[in-house]
Amino acid sequence: MTLFHFLPLYICLLTTALADTIRTSDPIAIVDITVKPCSSCLPQTSTAIALTVYNAEDLRKSVLEWRRKRSKQQQEKLGEHENSESEISIKAVDDQWLVIFDGYYSQEHRHKVILTALSGQHVEIVARDNPAAVFESDFDVLLWPYDERKKLESLLDEHEDIKEVKQQKQISRKLQYIKSQDTYLPSEARVHRAGQRKPQSVSSSDYWFGSEKLRSRKLMRSVVKPVTDELQADILWDLGFTGAGIKVAIFDTGLPKNHPHFRNVKDRTNWTNEKSLDDGLGHGTFVAGIIASSAECMGFAPDADVHVYRVFTNQQVSYTSWFLDAFNYAILSQDVLNLSIGGPDFMDTPFVDKVWEMSANGIIMISAIGNDGPLYGTLNNPADQMDVIGVGGTDFAHNIAKFSSRGMTTWELPAGYGRVKPDIVTYGSSVRGSGIYSGCRTLSGTSVASPVVAGVVTLLYSTVPEEKRHFVNPASMKQALMHGAKRIDGTNMFEQGAGRVDLIQSWKILKSYKPQATLSPPYIDFMDCPYMWPYCSQSLFHTGMPTIANVTILNAISVSSKIVGIPIWRPYDQETGHFVDISVSHSSVIWPWTGYIALTIMINEKGAEFEGIISGHLEFFVHSKNDDNNEDIEENVVISEMKLPLRISVIPTPKRWQRVLWDQFHNLRYPPGYFPRDNLKMKNDPLDWNGDHIHTNFRDLYERLRAAGYFIDVLGESFNCFDASNYGTLMIVDSEEEFFAEEIEKIAKDVEGGLNLIVFGDWFNTEVMKKVRFFDENTRQWWIPDTGGANVPALNELLEPFEIGLGDIVSDGEFEFSERKMNFASGTSLVQFPDQGKVLVRNLRDQGADILRNEKDETFKPKENTVAIFGVHEYKLGKVAVYGDSNCIDGAHMQKECYWLVEELLQYFRTELFAEELVSDLVEWSAVKEQFESFSTLPERFVGNQLHRFSKVLVPGLSMKNKPIPECRELTFLTPQYLNDSKSTLSWKNRPLLSIDWEEENLEIQSYKPLPLSHPETFSSATVFIVFSACGAALLFLLAQMRSRKNERSQKPLKFSKSRSNKNLST
């Protein structure tokens, strides 16, 4: 018996394995078994079997791709490509005010209410000439002097029909086009270049398709496919789904008339003060093409009803009121709305409220998450809202694009913790779309990724039968996208959300979808790294600050619902479950379609020495209205049982010197106030809006300290709410808030008792603050900073017990410290310090003088000052270190990092030893203080600043009086209700959408850690046919071979004698 005789069995087993592979991945395949001559086979055989498996779908797509490429080579025109960068700014308009009503009223009624409320006052109501003017509205725009704003608010707030009065906002986007020097860049270079873009960039790719160029290349390079091919849109097109009947609104820069790529433009409207419907920039045309182009560079939904809303002028300017009018018009009819713009102002309440209203009326909102990556805490509004599908960008290799903004949301700071965003990611780098008049162009940015998802949503919407479309809403569509997404390995949830879009998997989910409530993220697991960063980066321990997990609730059953009863914490193990305390807060109402549930997790005294894993789940119930019926009737309420699996890593309490406390309470950011960027060179990004959290723009510092073995807690309350005996070091970085008198007293006592203090300051100069105010020529609008880079006068009050003071010289420049290159970027300097304290003195440029100089003065020369920029001092049992600039540890616009300095200080606090090269750069203050006596006066606060409007410390008004210090939060913990299920290893894993009928639909959603969702262990009829056909063919082949062998054996003597006979004859 030879190996050959086992060949049929091998073929049968191989075919079965192939069929099983086919069964778990593709519905249809072609198996080709060929018997052919073989010259290199074993001596026993003269034939070979070639077994080829073709995926029918891939085969069909290959043919389509060949046809498409051939068509492109004949029709595509080569054009010059440009790189475009954009800057988005949002400014208040001084003399224009939005009067927001509590409902929709006719123009006559609204004007009557305003004139009645302002009886006897001269007032001008701005006329709005746009398509929405003939309909009822919920707002008006007034002209009123900014200096009399309080009078206006007091008069209007008294009327029962008026909800609020808000300032008009101007939104500006500036695009600068830069001719590209390259005709092609590999994907790695494209990502690197995109990562260097300025905030809110919409960047053009350097790659373009051209038949002549492709033929002339010598090196094999990957060609980027059309984005519709990458997401397999042609599968749905072949089934007859093309977006027909779905109305999609595009809020952008307009669309040219009779553009050859669009066959179903239903409406073009202009909401600007320009008398034009056309697109003068090309951005709106490109976005519309990604969604609905029907020629050349195909869009996802070529037959969708396209409604174009021109909300930006050719100068890239818009106003909140323009958006409000356009939203009011769109709310009447649209299904899907794409908004490829965004900004950091999540407190523009008229805009935010209107987006909520759009979602509440069933319109699926898709928005770009922002192009401010790779920095964390850079999410843009409205994409950061729970009801909006926030979209991040990837390249075609499925890497998160460098430009794509990262989470977390910063709405909840300082007391809470941010939500997971983006919701989803997709292709946003080097995507091809429609040119402004014809042809195709290539752009990059999340404003490209957003219409990719909008196109996907529109196409998916059209696959839902008419009788089931009432199930489609913002929550159900987001659920389909997120549960169908494929997770990207090696990235965390604040980079990718649920993962990258998978059009076909989401379509399969929608085929049998039933409304339900789900959670995002669907579980909290301290062992799931890196996806669950930062939870997986630091275990919990006793006496640590509370860890907060903010989970979003998506409820597609009803636009309005609520959590009923008290949530239940169910640990799986009675031996360890009582070590953890969990407190819960949640939305009072889940609206529109979304809400939150926040878990505050702590380890109690019983778990002080425990090391291990505590598992369980949080259980709660959501009550939803069934349609629009009365929810007081029991049968009209749908009850959803929700479970949030938890797996918590616990360690024994670390040593005191290992523990660092980060002060979040005293960090303020835009919005609501104008808090300027710490680096004054960053003129194009003047606002400090990243949250100043250890997990946002200081994330790299966090990672560095964790790698060095330190544990970092975040303090979201005042200083009276932490026990200093638990911590080795308190870090106060770039603080803008004032300090309570009680806090100042407590910190002095804590340092005296052994707590170490690190302070990173930033620039402060009242004259410079006046100079860096915003001024807009058209609107006569001024914004003056509420503080400098840091609130130096407040810091001086905190540091006064230690005899330390910071001045108002703004310094900038390069220097060396401890044999390292350093950069001082708009920092402050020490002007008072204890005589025995050690300081670092350097010569730096006087940046403040540069800013304040007369620009017409041609004789001005840059000035240098000798300044003390770093100091360290022992105070009783503790130590205090102060550095005048936070730029070197802040990921936003960092010039040169100085994480090493923080590590050196923490090592010094523990061992009282500095590195020799560092010590050699320091001098005693007593030796140099005389040269600083001329500017030793401490700076005073800016007179007339508006900090009191946003402060948690100051009483509203200009008196600079403090509020009473707030009480520390008292948490109410849930009583554990044990569930003896500690042996279950899957109890914490992700769950599929509960309503999907897997057996009927034969679906499989791929999930990457947690484990893949199960699929039915059954064979389809096609699979059975393939297996039996292959086995039958193999058996027939075996019989043929056996018969051939028999004939060969019977003929062997004849062959030998004939051969021998021939030999004799020749002889």
In 3D space, the residue among 862, 690, 678, 870 whose CA is nearest the CA of residue 763 turns out to be 678
Partner residues linked to 676 by β-bridges? 687
Whats the size of the chain, residue-wise?
A: 1067
Residue 277 C-beta-side C-alpha neighbours within 13 Å: 12
Q: Is 398 a catalytic residue?
A: no
| b/e sequence 508-534, b meaning 16+ C-beta within 10 Å | bbbbebebbbbbbbbbbbbebeebbbb
Amino acid letter at 71?
S
**To which residue do tokens 């299904």 refer?**
335
962 DSSP 8-state letter: B
The answer to whether residues 527 and 647 touch, using CB atoms and an 8 Å cutoff, is yes
Partner residues linked to 169 by β-bridges? 92
Cα(409)–Cα(403) distance, integer angstroms: 17
Cα(921)–Cα(842) distance, integer angstroms: 10
Q: Is 252 a catalytic residue?
A: yes
Cα-based angle 443, 481, 588 (whole degrees, multiple of 5) = 115
Cα(721)–Cα(179) distance, integer angstroms: 56
3-state secondary structure of 1059: helix
In 3D space, the residue among 863, 888, 859 whose CA is nearest the CA of residue 760 turns out to be 888
Other C-beta atoms closer than 10 Å to the C-beta of 773 total 14
The answer to whether residues 255 and 284 touch, using CB atoms and an 8 Å cutoff, is yes
Cα(637)–Cα(625) distance, integer angstroms: 5
794 Rama sector, left if φ>0, alpha if ψ -120 to 50, beta otherwise: alpha
Ranges assigned E (strand) in 395-505: 424-427, 431-434, 440-444
DSSP for 755-790 reads -EEEEE-----HHHHHHT-EEETTTTEEE--SSSSS
Could you tell me the maximum CA-CA distance found in the chain, to the nearest angstrom? 136
DSSP for 152-208 reads HHHHHHTSTTEEEEEEEEEEEEEEEEEE-S-S---HHHHHHHHHTPPTT--EEPS--
The answer to whether residues 438 and 257 touch, using CB atoms and an 8 Å cutoff, is no
848 DSSP 8-state letter: H
Cα(436)–Cα(278) distance, integer angstroms: 10
| 971: Cβ contacts below 8 Å, ≥ 6 apart | 546, 581, 583, 600, 602
CA-CA distances (angstroms) from residue 188 to 134, 213, 234, 401? 52, 20, 28, 10
Cα-based angle 305, 311, 314 (whole degrees, multiple of 5) = 115
The answer to whether residues 826 and 763 touch, using CB atoms and an 8 Å cutoff, is yes
**Selected catalytic residue, list 81, 259, 261, 283:** 283
**Selected catalytic residue, list 252, 278, 305, 384:** 252
Cα(258)–Cα(740) distance, integer angstroms: 64
Please list the alpha-helical segments (H only) found in 826-969.
847-852, 899-911, 916-919, 925-928
**Selected catalytic residue, list 447, 624, 829, 886:** 447
Orientation angle between helical segments 349-360 and 320-330, nearest 10 degrees: 10
36 DSSP 8-state letter: E
Cα(411)–Cα(380) distance, integer angstroms: 11
Partner residues linked to 34 by β-bridges? 50
Q: Is 157 a catalytic residue?
A: no
Report the catalytic residues.
252, 283, 447
